[in-house]
Amino acid sequence: MTSPQQVPPPPNYPPAYTPAPAYYQPAAEAAPAKHRWNLRPAWNLTATGAALAPIYEGYSLATGAGTLLTDMVNTGHPSGAWTIDIAVLATTAYINHTRDGWVSRVLLIAAVLGSILTLPWLNTVLRLMTGATT
């Protein structure tokens, strides 16, 4: 018979990395698009009404913005006036995009309508249709 052999102890290595078992995870649902203009017609109509409502001596938010822009254009600073108007439009569009609120929508509509009411082609259309000069 042979004599029993001694078995050396196992080496003191750190355990090998074993990845965690992979489980099936369903794909996350896509976030809905932020197209709220079509989804809330009553909300948009009331915001437009609030932007056009005469609240201060016959001026609304939109006509106040348009009057300020017209005054800046007529006093000799047209490029600065339109630069400020573009900055206001960008700011209100950003606020409306990031915040979900009725007040931000009113401010955006007032800025857009104030800009549209100030465009020079609007006076030309008015003069062609009515013959009145402003």
Q: Where are the domains of the chain?
A: 60-130
Tokens of 13: 């290595």
Instruction: Give φ, ψ of 121 to 5 degrees.
Output: -70, -20
pLDDT in tens, the chain (134 residues): 567 777 777 777 776 777 677 676 777 776 666 555 557 788 889 999 999 999 888 889 998 888 888 898 889 888 888 899 999 999 999 998 888 788 999 999 999 999 988 887 777 777 788 887 65
The pLDDT score that the predictor gives to residue 58 is 85
The pLDDT score that the predictor gives to residue 31 is 63
Give which of 38, 40, 35, 63 is closest to 51, Cα–Cα.
Answer: 63
What does the pLDDT look like over 86-108, one tens digit per residue?
Answer: 999 999 999 988 887 889 999 99
The pLDDT score that the predictor gives to residue 33 is 60
Helices (H), 4-119: 41-52, 61-74, 78-98, 102-118
Is the overall model pTM greater than 0.75, yes or no?
no
